[in-house]
Amino acid sequence: MSVEVYLVGGAVRDKLLGIYNKDTENDWLVVGSSMEELSSLGYRQVGKGFPVFLHPDSNEEYALARLERSVDPGYTGFEFDTSSGVTLEQDLSRRDLTINAIAQLNGTGEFIDPYSGQKDLDDGTLRHISSAFSEDPVRVLRVARFASRFKSFGFKLAHETHNLMKQMVVSGEVDALVPERVFKELDEALSYDTPSAFFKVLFSCGAYHKVFSSLYNDSVHISHTNSFEFLDNLRGYSPHIKFSIWLKNEELSSIEFLCDSIKCPKNYKDLALLTSKYSDFMKTFSEQKKEAIFEFFIGSDALRRKDRFSDLMTVFGLIDVDVSPILELRDLLSNIDTSELDKNNIAESIKDQKNIVIDSFINSTK
């Protein structure tokens, strides 16, 4: 059997959708070779025992054609068959969706499409290839993410795929998801222009409250028309901004638990907690007393953590809170001249001066 190389997966899909560009990652599939042969040609293996290699010049990923067999729950519980006899069609059959199971010989030749992925691309359908889909719980997240990424193309979930995802939730397969992968898929979905579809797909198949178990479980609070859709109005903003807006109505304890359970970065957690903590305060800022305003500036560390405070103001500005008076007062507090204050008790002197500035600001706005 001669060795053949195919461009596969997302790169081929994006070519056919007309969105392939210089930033698209190329994934290559090698049929009819072996680990030993690729190693002898200078390819560097990615992870011990895993049949993926980096090209010696381009550094792009080249994977051996393989079959998979689930032996344990979760996406790591698989055994591989990477023998040279594994065919292209067999390798493509283990992939998640038909639109991701199209290959192109050498990246320039004919398209090989054994599972009618091109038809599903034309029809805007996200459809699983086989029942083996249910062996990997990450695929539930991936399908939700693809729904988000391709919402503008009009893609919809095939009924049979939706039903299979619901079965995976009921059977407990989704419970085997690892935290890092949950955050990775969530973060990528939030980077898209239309992240609402990610949450709506998870909600509709029952996975939302499994994956984000600490969040408020109320179908009235979470619907297909409220907070999820609002996220689609935030194009151009960073994922951590959208993350905080998604969680703005959640309890602090729920946000703490979620962020710890999916191991999200500290800047995501901190901003989400501040957004929730000060949501009512910000909406009623003009009614707040001096003590509450002082606590807000201390609690948010506004004068030292300037970038984070700027993000916090961005979040509240996006949810229609007038942040201009807070920013004005922030500037006044930042401009306090400490050179004239009592150096023997500088901390208390600064505190007193801040209270004077806040008091003066409140009086000026009455």
Look over the chain and give the mean of its residue pLDDT values, rounded to a whole number.
91
Residue percentage of the chain with pLDDT more than 70: 94
Q: In the structure encoding, which two tokens stand for residue 324, read together? A: 């201009």
Angle at 80 between CA 75 and CA 86, to 5 degrees: 130
Residue 28 vs residues 58, 80, 100: alpha-carbon distances, Å:
12, 18, 13
Domains (range + CATH), the chain: 1-131 (3.30.460.10), 137-277 (1.10.3090.10), 281-366 (no CATH)
Residues 167, 134: contact at Cβ < 8 Å? yes
**Residue range 29-81, pLDDT digits in tens:** 999 999 999 999 999 999 777 789 999 999 999 999 988 765 555 555 567 78
Mark 83-122 as b/e (b = at least 16 C-beta within 10 Å): eeebebeebbbbbbbbbbbbbbeeeeeeebbbbbbbebbe
Phi and psi at residue 44, to the nearest 5°:
-105, 125
Which of 179-183, 259-263, 337-341, 356-360 is predicted with the least confidence, judged by mean pLDDT?
337-341
pTM: 0.89
Return the residue matching tokens 């006899």: 85
Q: CB-based contacts of 120: which residues, under 8 Å, 6+ apart?
A: 97, 98, 99, 126, 127, 158
Residue 5 vs residues 97, 193, 217: alpha-carbon distances, Å:
21, 34, 48
Residue 1 has pLDDT above 70, yes or no: no
Banded pLDDT at 2 (limits 50, 70, 90): confident
Banded pLDDT at 201 (limits 50, 70, 90): very high
Instruction: Say how far apart CA 141 and CA 190 lie, in whole Å.
Output: 13
